Amino acid sequence: MIPPPIFPEDLEREIFVIAAESSHKCAAALARVEKKVNLWVTPILYRVLTFNDLHMCLFDESFLLRSHHVQQIHSTVGMTLITSINHFSNLKTLVLFAGFVDAFVIRKITELPLLQELWLNLTCRLDPYTFSNLTHLGIFNKSLDMTTFPSNSFPNLTHLLLSFVFEVPASNSEILFSILDGCIHLEVLLIQGGALVATLGRGMDAIEQRFHRRDERIVEYWLGGIGRWVLEKSLATVWKQGEQVVNARRSFSK
C-alpha cells in the first residue's frame, strides 16, 4: 500500500484553510479532524455568526475563549446578545434585526472598538452617541422621526442606506440634503425606493424637480423584505451596487 504523501506544514495548512472557507458546514467538519487542524480553521468557523434564538446567545466559557475570532454577527435577538457584546472585541460588522433597539443597545454598540459596519432596526434617536470608526450604516424602519440626522455622530461615514417612511413629510428633502452636507465623507446614500416612492417620486429627475437640487450620490434601491434579503445575501453586494451607480453617473457627467 502506498503511504499518503507528506506535505510541508505550510502547504497543508493552506489546503485546510481554503477548504474551510468554502462553507461554514465544511469548516465545522474540519474543526473535528484533529487538534492542529482545529487551530487552523477555528478563526474561519467563528468569523461570521448568526443568532436566531435566545438560547444561542447564552455563551459558555469555551465559546467566549473563541469570541475574539468573530468579525461579523447577524442577530434577530438584540437585547440578549447586546449584554455580552463586549466579548467580541474584534467585531467589524453587526446586523441587528431585533424589534426594539433602545439607548442602552446603542451605547453598548458604541463601545465596540473596531466596528465599521452597522445595520439595525432603529427605535430610538442616535444622538448624542458617537460612532467614531463606523463607515457603513444601514437603517431599516417603518416609522421613525429623523427630522434631524445626527451627522456629527458619524465623522467617518461613507455609505448610508435608509429604508423607512419618514413621519414628517415636509422635512424629507431637508433630511436628505442635511445628511449629504453634514457627512463630509459620504460617497453613497441608498434609499429603499419602495419606502419613499410616494414622497420622493421615482429617480433623480423627480428629486431634482421637487427639491431643486441633484446629487449623484443619492441612489434609489428597490428591495422587498430588506431584513431577510440582507441576511441571505452578502452585505458587500448592497454597497457595491450603489457604488456602481454613483461611479457610472460620474463617468457619464465628465
Dump the DSSP string for 109-150: HHT-TT--EEEE---S--TT---TT--EEEEEEEEE--SS--
**More confident position, 253 or 210:** 253
Stretch (H or E) spanning 174: helix 172-182
Alpha-carbon distance of 57 to 76, in angstroms, equals 11
Give the mean model confidence (pLDDT) for residues 33-62.
76
Give mean pLDDT, residues 229-253. Answer: 75
Helix (H, G, I), strand (E, B) or coil at 102: coil
Range of lowest pLDDT (19-28, 96-105, 110-119, 139-148): 139-148
- CA dist., res. 81 & res. 73, Å (int): 10
Question: What confidence tens digit (pLDDT) does each residue in 72-105 have?
Answer: 888 776 666 777 788 888 999 998 876 667 788 8
Grid cell listed for 117 = 459596519
What is the pLDDT of the chain when averaged over all its residues? Answer: 76
Q: Is 240 exposed, middle or buried (0-12, 13-18, 19+ CB in 10 A)?
A: exposed
Domain residue ranges in the chain: 7-45, 47-124, 128-254
Higher-confidence position of 87 and 53: 87
Instruction: Kindly tell me if the per-residue pLDDT of 113 is higher than 70.
Output: yes
Strands 136-144 and 117-120: parallel
Residue with the larger pLDDT of the pair 145 and 127: 127
* 3-class secondary structure, 1: coil
- Please tell me the pTM assigned to this model: 0.79
Check if the beta carbon of residue 123 is closer than 8 Å to that of residue 145: no
pLDDT digits (tens, 9 = 90+) for 163-218: 755 444 445 566 777 788 888 899 998 877 554 443 333 456 655 665 566 788 88
> Which set of grid coordinates corresponds to residue 187?
460617497
CA–CA distances in Å: residue 201 to residues 49, 90, 168, 225: 38, 41, 16, 20
pLDDT above 60: residue 43: yes
